Amino acid sequence: MPDAHAAFDALCQHARKTSLVESIESSLCWDERCMLPSKAGEHRTEQIAYLAGVVHQRMTDPRVAEWLAVLVDSDLAVDPHSDAGTTIRQLKREFDKQTKLPQELVEQLSRVSVKGQRCWAEARKNNDFAAFAPLLTQIVDLTKQKAECYGYTDHIYDALLDDYEPLETTASVEKLLTELREELVPLVQKIAEGSRQPNLEILTREYPVKQQRQVVTEAAKRIGFDFSRGRLDETDHPFCTDIGPDDCRITTRYNVNDFGDGFFSVMHEAGHGMYQQGLRTEQFGLPPGSAVSLAIHESQSRLWENLVGRAASFWQHFYPVVQQAFPAALGDVDVEDFVFAINDVRPSLIRTDADEVTYNLHIITRFELEQDLLTGVLDVADLPEAWNAKYEQMLGIRPDSDANGVLQDVHWSGAAIGYFSTYTLGNLHAAQLFEQARIDLGDLDAQFAKGEFAPLLTWLREKIHKPGQCYTAAELAQKVTGKPLSCEPLVRHLKTRFGDLYGIS
Ligand code: ZN
């Protein structure tokens, strides 16, 4: 039997090599979404499925079980929050989960998700849900199989949620979302009746793409995204992925008649990117150097996109740059009118275009529909109608087409079921962290107005980025803010920001 230190070294070396394969997979995925010729999809699907299989094989290697057997009760595991303790705990958790999944199911899921994304893109373009339904049915079936393999006590959704938000439960998410919904629905109503309304025409004037590229790059630089360790490219559906400890890729899209689309996508993805860049590079490929959960990841993107990027104080600093880049569009627009326009709140059909207030209602619909699909209450064939009905009930509007309804998001086509609620959890974490940052760092708005974003980024680095997976998302919230995650900070933020803008008392 090897001693604990030898076992630990062997385990870490093995895990780092596995993450090397995963990072090759990430390179291929990035390339697929940014560069791939339209006919090259089949071969790419096989490449990615093969690597997914290799990763799974490595994660379930019987030697991992032997090393873990030596380590779980060793001195190295005594402090669960130390780097060694975290590595052992998290790799054990991952091993236990992975060994529950048959290799064949892993490869099937990988294949169907790559195929699904292509089929979905086509179906969305043609507004043809029926063309996507058979693959979606297959995806739901395979996802249910995955959940059954993992096992669960209360709800099938728990098993899936755990892949994205470790240790979170359906019941606790449902409680938070219900509380939030009860606050948001009347707030949306009050805003609609507000005494002031923004002039939205400002944002749909002509914003030449060349200047947009310069402006968004400048904004990302100023808030702290490190371009010597990352890139910004173009895609249809913006995302962020890390390929190596010094190679973080963010993407966006530009629309000449929509300033906000490109700009806020970059603020969002740069927030994700700065989290990746803030993880400890020497721990790359190991749990202490990895993101803790999707909700915490999303908290970082939403914090920079909304809490910073839509704040009046941010624009006190950055508006002159934008105004200079687009003299024809913004030469005659006051900063106050611009800030009001980028904070427009109104029920809309598309989640990714939604404002800070209604966004979470989009998430709640998906969270409910996913559960109905998994429990068999809802058939894939009936999904479009169920979707439309929920939108009517929740947001008071009915999608005019499936392309603008049930086909709008990529997630389900990529077999990511159980994912959506992490967006709203991310918003909750962001608001709670930001409230604490205000207490710890003083007048953040005064700092933003002067273009000083480093104090906030440094704070986030220390509190959130550097710990990696040494604490769970729930533990981080408790440790950094002294309270469990709740809706209150987000509700307070929304009521303050939009109450002021819309003249609501
Ligand atoms: Zn995001």
Per-residue pLDDT of 349-362, as tens digits, reads: 999 889 999 999 99
C-alpha of residue 62 to centroid of ligand 1, in Å: 35
**pLDDT exceeds 80 at position 2:** no
Q: Which two three-digit tokens encode residue 117?
A: 């994304």
**pLDDT exceeds 90 at position 242:** yes
8 Å CB contact between 403 and 350: no
pLDDT, residue 154, reads 93
pLDDT, residue 49, reads 87
Q: What are residue 314's DSSP bridge partners?
A: none
pLDDT, residue 103, reads 86
**pLDDT exceeds 70 at position 415:** yes
Question: Percent of the chain having pLDDT more than 70?
Answer: 100
C-alpha of residue 164 to centroid of ligand 1, in Å: 13
C-alpha of residue 68 to centroid of ligand 1, in Å: 33
Q: What are residue 481's DSSP bridge partners?
A: none
Q: Which two three-digit tokens encode residue 405?
A: 């309804």
pLDDT, residue 13, reads 98
8 Å CB contact between 359 and 302: no
Mean local confidence (pLDDT), 95-108: 92
Active-site positions? 269
**pLDDT exceeds 80 at position 505:** no
Q: How far, in Å, CA of 117 to CA of 94, rounded? A: 26
Terminal alpha carbon distance of the chain: 70
Q: How far, in Å, CA of 341 to CA of 244, rounded? A: 38
pLDDT digits (tens, 9 = 90+) for 266-295: 999 999 999 999 999 999 999 999 999 999
**What would the 3-class secondary structure string for 81-123 be?**
CCHHHHHHHHHHHHHHHHCCCCHHHHHHHHHHHHHHHHHHHHH
**pLDDT exceeds 60 at position 1:** no
DSSP, res 334: -
**pLDDT exceeds 90 at position 320:** yes
- Helices then strands (H, E): number in the chain? 21, 3
pLDDT digits (tens, 9 = 90+) for 115-169: 998 899 999 999 999 999 999 999 999 999 999 999 999 999 999 999 999 999 9
Mean local confidence (pLDDT), 214-218: 98
Q: Which two three-digit tokens encode residue 290?
A: 């990895």
* Three-state DSSP state, 251: strand
- Of 233-237, 262-266, 316-320, 480-484, minimum mean pLDDT range: 233-237
Would the pTM of this model clear 0.85, i.e. be above it? yes
DSSP state string for 362-378: HHHHHHHHHHHHHHTSS
C-alpha of residue 291 to centroid of ligand 1, in Å: 13
pLDDT, residue 110, reads 86
C-alpha of residue 241 to centroid of ligand 1, in Å: 11
* Three-state DSSP state, 28: helix
Average per-residue pLDDT for the chain: 96
